[in-house]
Amino acid sequence: MMIVADDKTTLVLTGTGDVLEPEDGVAGIGSGGSYALAAAKALIDLDLDAEQIARRAMRIAADICVYTNHNVVVESLGA
């Protein structure tokens, strides 16, 4: 699975070819995905940019899920 997003749309691409659009524009995948998703939904109302929310949500997920670690790489394209 893979999450792709721009400033208007977030999509989840599955290994079977499905393209899903999550509610609220927030998505999480993988073993710690539900923890990261819950953390991101809690952080979305704060004055943070998308990368800050993603990094904080992943840090929270890694603290909870034994299969998720703190090694995170965020790639973004400049506007």
Whether 79 is covered by a domain: the verdict is no
* Count of domains forming the chain: 1
- What span, in angstroms and rounded, lies between the C-alpha atoms of 27 and 23? 8
**pLDDT tens per residue, range 37-73:** 999 999 999 999 988 999 999 999 999 999 999 999 8
CA-angle at 51, arms to 79 and 38, nearest 5°: 135
Helix or strand holding residue 2 (H, E): strand 2-5
Domain that holds residue 50: 2-64
Per-residue confidence (pLDDT) for residue 79, from 0 to 100: 60
25's tokens: 């524009």
For 4-46, how does the pLDDT look when each residue is reduced to its tens digit (9 = 90+)? 988 899 999 999 999 999 988 899 999 999 999 999 999 999 9
- pTM, entire model: 0.78
